Amino acid sequence: MFNFGSRSKIDAFNVAVLPLVSTPQQVRLGFSSLPTYRYGVFSTCWIKAGTEMGPYIGKVVQRDEINMTSPNELMWEIFDDRGEIIYFLEADHGTYSSWLSYVNCARNDQEQNLEIYQSGREIYYRATKVVILHFFLFSLFLSIFFSFFFFSLYFSFLNCCGDRCA
């Protein structure tokens, strides 16, 4: 399992340069090859399928604390056993920054090499296939949403009409 830390760096002209985010030796932060992302995470060695990375570090945010007018793309929902949201976990590329928050979204299924999952009350990433040397890490972020979305729908259905389903 990979571990991580956080820091940022500003150059003499007050222009953000590559953030100083601690990474495990198997990955590095680099400039993204995708036009919509400034940074990305790439492998420094071959990463085996099934390799787990995490946990995702962030600040615990309650539902009533979410600012819906600011970007929330670095925020994950944490669910209980019934599929209900307990709280949100938010990274911000500042105080609560981790290298996992720089993993970019895959543009298609073929590009995806990571999946995201919740274990207990923590978010982890797992390699779904071998990641070759100097290749960017990508995940389809919707995959975790859909798995929990349908999980929540199932429990909502049982709570709503479970006694009528037999």
CATH number, residue 103: 2.170.270.10
What CA–CA distance (Å, rounded) separates 129 from 49? Answer: 4
Beta bridge partners of 49: none
Strand pairing category for 114-119 and 39-43 = unpaired
Of 48 and 148, the one with more pLDDT: 48
- Asked if residue 22 has pLDDT above 90, the reply is no
Q: Give the model's pLDDT for residue 12.
A: 38
Q: Could you tell me if residue 159 is inside a domain?
A: no
- Buried b / exposed e along 62-100 (16+ C-beta atoms within 10 A): eeeeeeeeeeeebbbbbbeeebeeebbbbbebeebbbbb
Domain span holding position 133: 27-150
Q: Could you tell me if residue 33 is inside a domain?
A: yes
Q: Is the pTM of this model over 0.75?
A: no
pLDDT digits (tens, 9 = 90+) for 61-94: 999 998 888 777 888 899 999 999 999 998 876 7
Q: Could you tell me if residue 129 is inside a domain?
A: yes
Number of domains in the chain: 1
Question: What is the number of helices (H) and of strands (E) in the chain?
Answer: 1, 10
Of 164 and 44, the one with more pLDDT: 44
- Asked if residue 106 has pLDDT above 70, the reply is yes
What CA–CA distance (Å, rounded) separates 70 from 66? Answer: 9
Q: Give the model's pLDDT for residue 5.
A: 38
Q: Could you tell me if residue 43 is inside a domain?
A: yes
